[in-house]
Structure 1
Amino acid sequence: MSPDRHDPAPSHATAPPPMSKEAFRSLYDRLRAQALAGGTDRRSGTLSRLTPERVVAAAAGVRSGRTVSLAAPVETSPGPDDPHPASHSMIAPADGDADGHGLRFALDRFAMNVHGDADSHLDALCHVIFDGELYGGVPASTVTPDGAGALTVDLVRDGIVGRGVLLDIPRLRGVPWLDPGDAVTADELAAAEAAQDVTVGPGDLLFVRVGHRLRRRSLGPWDAARARAGLHPGAMDFLAERGVAALGSDGNNDTAPSVVADVAFPVHVLAVQAMGMHLMDYLDFEELVPVCEQSDRRHFLCVVAPLRLPSATGSPVNPIAVL
């Protein structure tokens, strides 16, 4: 079957438990109240948990000095999950201009739909609007056609550096990947901790593998906007209890179809808008997994350096794990 006609219907996934609109609203109100009452900063959100002491401790955990990228190669060809891919063009030299003596420069131009379903990116705190507000009650009117005026990706211009923890859910389940439509629960996050002998703690950067990238490479791309594996919104309780600073996944973090009626991206709403947590979507852990297996460690120093885009709602990102 050709990649652009791949059927995303689940083959062995267990249907995730639905969440009523009332239950979602209750969870939203509780997590939002906790975030605004204390433990997070109204400007930087959960990144306020990344204290200098925690950064130093994460750096002290480096053993081999090996570095691994957690980003996927940028896509420049259209596909069922990427109808508007990034564009890359050479603007110099023109044909024949590089020949001969003297100095020449090769120049290129790049453009990207940052929040697509294929490329690795970071969501700023101004990315999610819910009930007319951004995180911390900032009015949605601060986001205009000219750019965002508050909570932009510029908040992380100095980078995000801390202890990264990888929880591998397919490994826990004994499958290569989770099928589209499946969802990771809070209990599974706790079970993955125990199985991998690691504990998620305050200020950690949590990375949850669902196997999206491996499935895409094995079976071909599909319409991930319509069907994908992700986290169940109830799993956000786990992150709140552990004091996680940022969340990343090799998928979108949200499962599709959504388990909450009339809320298409409940994890984005809870994480970004309610809790003030930066998200990293569509990362790639397939190079990291064997390194973690070889070293028998699922935690590492992680360095995330978004582009300096003062009024943007997100950025392409290439997190680096240092083991």
Structure 2
Amino acid sequence: MSSNPDDAPAPPPATAGEGAVSRQEFDALFSAVRTWGRWADADRGAWNRVTPEQVRRAAALVRSGTLVPMARPWDTAPGPDNNKPALHYMSDLGDVEPPEPATHKDFIAVDYHGKAVSHLDALSHIAYRGQLYEGRAAQECIDAGGARFGAVSALGPLVTRGVLLDLPTVFGVPWLEPGRAVHAADLVAAEQALGVTIGEGDAVLLRSGSLRRRQERGAWNTGAASAGLHVDAMPLLAERGIALLGGDGDSDVRPSPVDGLHSPVHALAVAAMGVPLLDNLDLEALSAASASTGRYEFLLLVAPLNIPGATGSPVSPVAVL
């Protein structure tokens, strides 16, 4: 890690078409990282990697007890990166001669899969070539009543070791520009610069600095252009045996490097590897806290809502330092 941008490693290339991958190459990659048939509790996927012993090791990382929340605020304002604004209105103002004590109630609702809400993608969220994780036929497992395989209710809470790969810090830039692809070599460089090594059962969080860019430059259509992982980074994460992948975007670089696939990292992580995804996190406070302590590993707590049949859940992950 370098505080001097002149001494920092070169950032990844910024050309949108760089690193193009054919569908044939992608299908070979999908087969190579696939973990189908590995766990009896299949709709928990890679969360099966987190054992009680790993939870204890994660708990041992706590030093100061500082809590760092990572959820973005509930966003009710439409924008170029929020075409499905969340709803929030008051349903009881306590102003109709109520008995004491008066009550105040509100209603919230959201179509959370998108670019604005911090959320978890369960294994039922993504199908590739008509198949969910484990090769389950999506049309047989999911209907208007919800998902009968890979629902978020099957996951439960997760406590594990979190690793922050803070790429702007590594490369000495304020943020990665939209469209920048993060390759396997960049992940290895980040490990070396930040003094961490991704291991079995870890949750890997990728910071691109997108929220800082949004604060300074304004919102943009992140579905069209965003920094994120290139598909060539996924074999490394598969080899390391991660349990969870997330970031301040949705993990995919956009535009996609794979012809005809809008979210290839989603397909590899969720449908092939059984790794749930955390999308749209706010990693700015965690970046600052990690920089101040010089530690990029921490205890991570993720507790999705217990919604039977749901393909994911809004979530408010917490890092404990």
Equivalent position of 2:31 in the other structure: 29
State the one-letter code of the partner of 2:76: T
**Runs in 1 of length 4+ with deviation above 2 angstroms?**
12-16, 36-43
1:320 equivalent to 2:321? Answer no
Is the 1:303–1:319 Cα contact (8 Å) retained in structure 2? yes
User: 2:293 aligned to 270, 292, 295, which one?
Assistant: 295
1:152 equivalent to 2:154? Answer no
Is the 1:40–1:48 Cα contact (8 Å) retained in structure 2? no
Cα 1:236–1:102 change in 2 (3 A) is same
How many Å separate the matches in 2 of 1:168 and 1:154? 31
State the one-letter code of the partner of 2:163: V
* Number of aligned positions between the proteins: 307
How many Å separate the matches in 2 of 1:130 and 1:290? 37
How many Å separate the matches in 2 of 1:244 and 1:40? 18
How many Å separate the matches in 2 of 1:316 and 1:217? 22
Query: What does the per-residue CA deviation read over 1:277-315, in whole Å, with 9 as the maximum and x for residues that have no partner?
Result: 000011011011111111110000000011111111010
1:57-206 matched pairs, under 5 angstroms: 57-93=57-93, 96-97=95-96, 102-141=100-139, 142-157=141-156, 159-206=157-204
State the one-letter code of the partner of 1:51: T
How many Å separate the matches in 2 of 1:143 and 1:182? 34
How many Å separate the matches in 1 of 2:154 and 2:184? 29
How many Å separate the matches in 2 of 1:69 and 1:301? 12
1:232-251 matched pairs, under 5 angstroms: 232-251=230-249
SS of 1:189's equivalent? Answer: helix
C-alpha RMSD of the superposition: 1.6
State the one-letter code of the partner of 2:88: H
Is the 1:193–1:200 Cα contact (8 Å) retained in structure 2? yes
State the one-letter code of the partner of 2:33: L
Q: TM-score, normalised by structure 1?
A: 0.91
Cα 1:43–1:208 change in 2 (3 A) is same
Equivalent position of 1:54 in the other structure: 54
What residue ranges of structure 2 are gaps of 5+ in the alignment?
A: 1-12
What residue ranges of structure 1 are gaps of 5+ in the alignment?
A: 1-11
How many Å separate the matches in 2 of 1:233 and 1:40? 27
How far is 1:114 from its partner? 1.3
Mean Cα deviation higher: 143-152 or 186-195: 143-152
Q: TM-score, normalised by structure 2?
A: 0.92
Is the 1:40–1:46 Cα contact (8 Å) retained in structure 2? no
How far is 1:41 from its partner? 5.2
Equivalent position of 1:17 in the other structure: 19
How many Å separate the matches in 2 of 1:180 and 1:231? 12
Cα 1:120–1:40 change in 2 (3 A) is farther
Percentage of pairs with the same residue: 46
Is the 1:186–1:234 Cα contact (8 Å) retained in structure 2? yes
State the one-letter code of the partner of 1:204: D
